[in-house]
Chains A and B, each alone.
Chain A
Amino acid sequence: MPYPAYMEESIRKVEGTRERRLKEELPRIPVGNRMPVLQEFHPDFVKTSMRELLVGPNKGDRTPNELADLLEGNSRIDPDKIDLTRIDYDVDALIIGAGGAGAAAALIAQENGANVLLVTKLRLGDANTVGYQGGTQAADRPDDSPVLHYLDTMGGARFTADPKLVEALVKDAPDVIRWLESLGVIWDKKPDGSMAEVALAGECVPRCHCCKDYTGLEVMRVLRDEVRCRNINYVEFAPAIELIMDDKGQVAGAILVNLETNELSLVRAKAVVMATGGIGRLHIQGFPTTNHYGATADGLVLAYRVGCPLVDTDTMQYHPTCAAYPIAILGLLVTEKVRGLGAQVVNIDGEQFANPLEPRDVLASCIIRECKERGKGITTPTAELGVWLDSPRIDMIHGEGTVAQNLPAMVRQFGRFDIDITKEPMLVYPGLHYQNGGIKFSPNGATAVPGLFAAGEVEGGVHGKNRLGGNSSLDLFVFGRRAGKSAAQHAKEVRLGKLTLDHVRQWQRELKKAGLTQVRPISPKILPDYARQPHDYLADYVTERLHAGQIKVA
């Protein structure tokens, strides 16, 4: 599926301006001047896309409709039918979700003496972590410092991040890199062993550590192996669908469901770490997503029901550069590293319209403006809009072979569709990428409810209302390790009371009072509904786009 002729025509223009663009650098928009473009074009500012929550700890706060519906969903269980004396697993620390944060928490909790159970929705490591490409930030270069990392993170977040969380983030960062290396992760390095950092958007010094563009794969397969080597108990295809509490108001376990047989099992745990990751598969505002199949906001729902407040869930991160062509890989992340290495973003005429290293919210808004307001985007045969990400420029700057060496995943993924990104640009458009906010928590991983800890994408505050590239993978290791340690410690000290599901009964009463029980969906969602049925997302979406205006699915 190479580019059709009319798109090739635009590519000729991109090639025509490339020589000149070698030296052309557009200025970045100063912090004080970002709001107008954001307000007009960033999806978070579409008023009708969000609504106020009617029940729960964040009552009155606005959040995307898709998330609000699930947060105010009906429980999947009937508390009266569950026998809490029939416990299947009795452990010190239950870790929910086996992505990077969960695996890190499990390893460290075990090291700190806890008897650990790790449960997850799909396979061990089927998670957003495995797909991360661009890398992990850590201010370890002599010309860098945690202070600069702190400034970058605060500024990227438009100064909305929690200072204490950011401090923990930047100070733990170098040790995270070393910890992973000691487990056998192979970072990109110079021959003498010093790290080869790449600059991502919003960094004032190159600070991102990568393993080619398979960083998440490399890290996840090592962590997964280590979990197995240390004989940590884990259960796959067994998502948590409700937390269990005790009569002292502490979180004391969870109810799991076997995805294939629907059998429930009960876990009693002295401490629970929520590490369920993100939200992409809710397809907020209909956006395609970079996220894995199980990213459905389950952890937010479970934590909300036991009374944990959420923060910054009124913002989502739309990654500026996701594949817009071919449709088979629509929404596929094109890592920021591509821009970090020197690819510019250009319009149908081959002209730049924004500095490629603007923070994500700003660049995404600029791309949407270029396409929707200025009409300078390229329309694909399936009616997607996009702009060019000029990857061939990378080899022109750094020498031939740079793209092949540093971006093998990208080369392979486009190569499967006969697009050679060393010679031709990629067509990209913003896609739903990351949940900026999440469960409110403190630097040691504790949430507002005793016994419940949080780590990774499911928590909030670290990135405020906009996350910088490379800071999320850092976040999940920093706070995964901290939560694991705190959970093990808590397990040593706590005395559990009598188990109860009264919080679920209470929740259902509140929904009823607000007049919601009838119309609410059941949550957590667990998996998106892609099997074709009337009104489901993907079938309609793919077919409509695939053959614009031609098909109406029955």
Chain B
Amino acid sequence: MADATKVAEREEQKVTMVDIYIMGKRYKVPEGLTIMTALEYCGYRLIRGCGCRAAFCGACGTVYNFKNDPVLRYALACQKLVEQDMYLTQIPFFPAAKPSYDLEKMEPTGEQLLKIYPELVTCFGCNNCTKSCPQELEVMEFMSAAIRGDLKEVTIKSFDCLMCGLCAARCPQGLVPYNIALLCRRLHGRYLVPRSKHLDERIAEIEAGEFDVEIEELQKMSLEELKRRFDERPILKE
């Protein structure tokens, strides 16, 4: 990768190139690349910090600022386009506190949550977590809801969390909002969402073998007959 920059400079006249700085070193890359593809354009072979490449897995949370502007910004490297004079560092996802628990032996309450995450009460509302969220979630708000034991509110506000880890990285109290929210959602989903009657009924029907004969019939019939059955099946619209 000796001369990625030189290569880029040869191309410079023809396309709009922007200067970026990867761990302090300058590179020129074509406009329109994401931080992730820009790293690759510069010759980096990614091992860490790259997963779905589509804003779902949270592997690529990244921190950057600008040459003449030290304020830190946060983004997903697979989504954020490079800009002139961006300073980039690659921060690998780092592990955070994750107690073990058995959902089956728990209760969906605030007290339960505090037993697992007692440090939750030390949140003093600095809002760094919210500022660092690349999904633009109201992290501090769902942390307050967690302190109040309002699992439903946490569920609603944290549902789109990719667990990229940036909020935990920025929390001065060492809290791990994404793990706390995950437990709230699991408790909510396991205990507070009303069960689906038709689901339970269908499982019982299958266990009683109610569909076995009909499926066996389909398996035994000729291909022609099966095709006919398929074409004639009723199509339901809601």
Interface of A toward B, CB cutoff 8 Å: 1, 30-32, 122-123, 125-127, 130-131, 138-143, 145-148, 150-152, 154-155, 159, 163-164, 167, 170-171, 174-175, 177-178, 181-187, 189, 191-195, 199, 204-206, 211-212, 214, 216-218, 221-222, 225-226, 228-231, 237, 259-260, 290, 292-294, 326-329, 332-333, 408-409, 412-413, 416, 527, 529-533, 538-539, 542-543, 546-547, 550-551, 553-554
Contact = CB atoms under 8 A, between A and B. Distances in A.
A517 B1 CA distance: 28
Residue from B11, B46, B196, B226 with most neighbouring chain A CB atoms (10 Å): B196
Nearest to A25: B237
Contacts of A126: 51-52, 57, 59
A191 B237 CA distance: 21
A122 B93 CA distance: 11
A152 B196 CA distance: 24
B37 A212 contact: no
Nearest to A214: B160
Contact of B198 (A142, A163, A292, A327): A142
Interface in B67-121: 79-81, 93, 98, 100-103
A145 B235 CA distance: 13
A171 B194 CA distance: 23
A331 to B, nearest CB: 8
Interface band, chain B: 35 or more
7 shortest interchain CB distances as A-B pairs: A193-B194, A184-B186, A126-B51, A155-B230, A531-B45, A186-B189, A184-B189
A292 B230 contact: no
B193 interface: yes
A531 B39 CA distance: 8
A333 B197 CA distance: 33
B194 A293 contact: no
Interface string B126-145: 00000000011000000000
A122 B51 contact: yes
Contact of A217 (B47, B48, B56, B136): B56
B82 to A, nearest CB: 10
Contacts, number: 252
B32 A140 contact: no
A131 B57 contact: yes
A328 B194 contact: no
B157 interface: no
Residue from A31, A122, A125, A231 with most neighbouring chain B CB atoms (10 Å): A122
A538 B15 contact: no
Residue from B4, B34, B81, B160 with most neighbouring chain A CB atoms (10 Å): B160
A514 B33 CA distance: 43
B30 interface: yes
A178 B200 contact: yes
A533 B182 contact: no
Given A123-B93, A186-B189, A212 B199 contact: no
Interface string B148-162: 000000010001101
B186 A183 contact: yes
A211 B186 CA distance: 13
A170 to B, nearest CB: 8
B206 interface: yes
A164 to B, nearest CB: 8
A184 B103 contact: yes
Nearest to B190: A184
Contacts of A229: 100-103
Given A151-B218, A178-B199, 15 more contacts: A1-B81, A138-B199, A147-B218, A177-B199, A178-B203, A183-B186, A205-B236, A222-B182, A225-B183, A293-B50, A326-B32, A327-B32, A529-B45, A531-B46, A532-B43
B25 interface: no
Contacts of A416: 79-80
B54 A290 contact: yes
Given A154-B230, A178-B203, A554-B7, A204 B235 contact: yes
16 contacts: A140-B198, A140-B199, A147-B215, A155-B227, A181-B189, A184-B187, A193-B197, A217-B162, A228-B100, A292-B52, A293-B46, A328-B32, A538-B40, A546-B15, A546-B30, A554-B10
Given A123-B51, A174-B202, A225 B186 contact: yes
B45 A530 contact: yes
Contacts of B238: 199, 206
A524 to B, nearest CB: 16
B199 A551 contact: no
A163 B222 CA distance: 13
Nearest to B162: A217
Contact of A131 (B34, B43, B56, B80): B56
Contacts of A542: 30, 33, 37, 41
Contacts of B231: 30-32
